[in-house]
Amino acid sequence: MMGIVNVTPDSFSDGGLFFDQADAVAHGEALAAAGADIIDVGGESSRPFSESVPVQEEIRRVVPVIEELARRLSVPISIDTHKARVARRAISVGASMVNDIGALLLDPAMGSVVAEAGVAVVVMHMKGTPKVMQVGPHYEDVVGEVRGFLADAVERAEQAGIGPSRIIVDPGIGFGKTVTHNLLLIKHLSALQAMGVPILIGPSRKSFIAKILGNGDERREVGTQAAVAVAALHGAHIVRVHDVERTRYTLKLVDAIKNPASCNA
């Protein structure tokens, strides 16, 4: 489980709640205590139609939080950024993973930063940029096209000098996709397994859930757990979520269903 810490004033689900450094650190600690295996810290919202944050402002937001969490926690800290300068600073204070929504494309220096540091990287599929990704996204074959993009991203990472054991792929739920596109990617997530690298998926509280179940925090969270369960059954290795405690119970049941002989209940 990857727990989300948004050090932003405008993220779609919890924007502003953890913008203060002390609040962000406390939230990261709470996620780890609830069972998060990775803490993902981000300083720029990637919600649809969002504007980019200047590099120095993003560094100001995330670096003190990552430095303090790395000092207090034993679990890995991930930096959620597509900017190489932000990634480099975050790594210097304790981040051991880069979660790049740009799949090493939005900043040409990102691949070398990750390779030189020897950290892990998540390469995610996105159609366009956050500002325009939800303007009429179209695919002839969303599963095939996303799979092809991610296969290219893995090759690009390896060519940059990043070892295959440090590469993770993410189909980018909600990043340039309609409701149907998101559902198809979750349903056919196993199509990504042939790449031989871990699969991360982040359906947590996304708008496609509200469009199906209706708005409201509880409905979005219930829908998140359903999406997490299906994704886990279809091959997800890492789930990126806001509510780690609920997700822990969801995954415990999924594991019992997958391996009933190992269940001691």
The catalytic residue positions are: 206, 240
Sheet holding 238-241, edge to edge: 167-170, 120-124, 97-100, 77-80, 38-42, 2-6, 238-241, 200-201
Which among 58, 47, 57 has a CA at the least distance from the CA of 14? 47
Query: Side chain identity at 176, as an amino acid letter?
Result: G
Q: Tally the residues of the chain.
A: 265
Contact (CB, 8 A) for 65 and 58: no
CA distance 13 to 2: 16
Contact (CB, 8 A) for 114 and 82: no
Cα-based angle 198, 117, 43 (whole degrees, multiple of 5) = 75
Which among 83, 54, 46 has a CA at the least distance from the CA of 240? 46
Beta partners for residue 39, in sequence order: 3, 77
